[in-house]
Amino acid sequence: MSAPGPGEGVRHVSLRSGVYADSVRLMQVSRDVGAREGVVAVLVAMATPLNVDLAAGMGLAPDETPSPDQLLIAVRAVDDDALAAAVAAVDAALAERERSRATADAQPARTIAAGLEDLDPGGPALAIVSVPGQYAALEAADAIAAGRSVLVFSDGVPVEQEVALKRAASEADVLVMGPDCGTAIVSGVALGFANVVRPGPVGVVAASGTGAQQVSCLLDAAGVGVSHVLGVGGRDLSEAVGGLATLAALAALDADPATERVLVVSKPPAPSVAEAVARAAAGLSTPVRSAALSPETPDLTAAVEALLADMGRDVPVWPSRPGPAEAALPGAVLKGLYSGGTLADEAMLLAVPVLGDVRSNTPLRLELALGTDLSAPGHTVVDFGDDALTVGRAHPMIDPTLRLEAIDRLAASGEPAVLLLDVVLGHGADADPAAALAPALTAARARAHLPVVVALVGTEADPQGWSRQADALAAAGAAVFASNAAATRYAIDLLGAEL
């Protein structure tokens, strides 16, 4: 029997209320059920608008308008028996999760306040909040009231609540990292998406998750480690927030005897806030260098190299893997498909002076915004890690589905292009990103003349292993660079443009 197309076979679509599971767990259920014999397509996810659109694209749209707090189960199979078995497998996976929770020897506390009640006041000094955004501020406020610093992994927190939390933290002499803080290293302990890097004298303050990972990995490659990586949330250097957590983190690192240098990493900050941070940094005893992206300073690798020079350290040759010999493609366009927002911004800041306007879902200028289909002719850079694309879905560093689909569409489009990607390794990320990406790149290059350039952010000590991943991607025809700036410049060279 030939496999049914998107509109063929038999289908099951249902919505369930009162059931919640995190996006990573639901992604695993979808993968496991999707691997069953006779299953053509499956999506088990919270019924957010993005996930409902994905289901519709699979020909599995629900008949009724769902609520985002409902669970969507959408399955297509070759026949009724395969469909029934697949739905039963979904039910079994969800039931097993509930049984595990019900039979646990000790039920976990369900709020930060309850969790802190039984702790010694001198116990853990840091709380971590990872709940849907509408509930995060309440949990974080409980931690602050108990005298704990708090890392807010959750996104979707209103900016007014962020400001209120950070002002309360200042009064309590604690630190709020986040909201939307995906990366931190505190006293050698990696939190969220973080890499395995050596300990050392450089403290990093980061209003950028993948930016923090890029600089900490480059420092590791140079033989220089980090004391702490304090994420402050991507909005901290906006006018609305005013750098409240950045200023607090700078003060904390200045007081830390293990920190001899500080690097501040961010997407383009509000100019007035950048000035305020610079003034505060100038008054510290610990030297501070900025790695804030801007049209004038578009290169995180250059900032790391400048820091190494400050420290009297040699700048190494950054790791790379050459791709196949590729002739320049004048008239082709740059197509960037990123999982990291700061890396996407860096790529655009480097490309625009050479290539001209680049459209994006996170554009450098509002008039260059992509539509909801995330596609347009010409130069484009898509950030699949943007909050709008992760509601009810695992981050693309965990779940590559949307990007793999975009690679397939690009190869089928016939538009002459150079493909630029990031792959970010470390704790929390896909255990083997090349396992899915390398076959997709091989298939895309078989369909179209498509040079591929990868910025591979990670270390040899990461669970995935930088060299193992680099070798697998190079075997699939990609040129691989440890530096996103170097990768971007190489992609621009392949377009026949002069830097």
Is the pLDDT assigned to residue 498 strictly greater than 70? no
Mean pLDDT, rounded, of the chain? 91
- Grade residue 148 by pLDDT with cuts at 50, 70 and 90: very high
CB 36 within 8 A of CB 81: no
Is the pLDDT assigned to residue 430 strictly greater than 80? yes
Least confident of 10-19, 103-112, 158-167, 359-368: 103-112
Is the pLDDT assigned to residue 77 strictly greater than 60? yes
Is the pLDDT assigned to residue 24 strictly greater than 90? no
Alpha-carbon distance 271 to 256, whole Å?
Answer: 28
74 token code pair: 């959408």
Domains and CATH numbers, the chain: 10-103 (3.30.70), 115-175 (3.40.50.720), 181-315 (3.40.50.261), 320-495 (3.40.50.261)
Give this prediction's pTM.
0.85
Report the pLDDT value the prediction gives residue 499, as an integer from 0 to 100: 57
Report the pLDDT value the prediction gives residue 120, as an integer from 0 to 100: 58
CB 43 within 8 A of CB 3: no
| Mean pLDDT value of segment 101-113 | 59
Write the pLDDT tens digit of every residue in 288-340: 999 999 999 999 999 999 999 999 999 999 999 998 888 888 899 999 999 99
Q: Is the peptide bond between 108 and the residue preceding it cis, with omega within 30 degrees of 0?
A: no
On the 0-12 / 13-18 / 19+ scale of CB atoms within 10 A, 446 is exposed
Least confident of 6-10, 41-45, 391-395, 452-456: 6-10
Is the pLDDT assigned to residue 439 strictly greater than 80? yes
| Mean pLDDT value of segment 176-190 | 93
Quick one: which H or E segment has residue 77? strand 71-77
Q: Quote the percentage of the chain above a pLDDT of 70.
A: 92
Length of the chain: 499
Report the pLDDT value the prediction gives residue 5, as an integer from 0 to 100: 47
Alpha-carbon distance 499 to 497, whole Å?
Answer: 6
Is the pLDDT assigned to residue 410 strictly greater than 60? yes
Least confident of 83-87, 121-125, 258-262, 437-441: 121-125
Least confident of 55-64, 195-204, 454-463: 55-64
- Residue 80 makes CB contacts below 8 A (sequence gap 6+) with 10
- Grade residue 199 by pLDDT with cuts at 50, 70 and 90: very high
Is the pLDDT assigned to residue 476 strictly greater than 70? yes
Alpha-carbon distance 359 to 321, whole Å?
Answer: 29
Report the pLDDT value the prediction gives residue 100, as an integer from 0 to 100: 57
Report the pLDDT value the prediction gives residue 29, as an integer from 0 to 100: 87
Is the pLDDT assigned to residue 361 strictly greater than 90? yes
Residue with tokens 């996104």: 155
Alpha-carbon distance 27 to 8, whole Å?
Answer: 24
Q: Quote the percentage of the chain above a pLDDT of 90.
A: 74
Alpha-carbon distance 23 to 44, whole Å?
Answer: 9
| Mean pLDDT value of segment 175-202 | 94
Between residues 327 and 348, the one the model is more confident about: 348
285 token code pair: 């005893």
Amino acid occupying residue 85: A
Is the pLDDT assigned to residue 266 strictly greater than 80? yes
Quick one: which H or E segment has residue 149? strand 149-152
Report the pLDDT value the prediction gives residue 125, as an integer from 0 to 100: 80
| Nearest in space to 481 (alpha carbons), one of 350, 358, 287 | 350
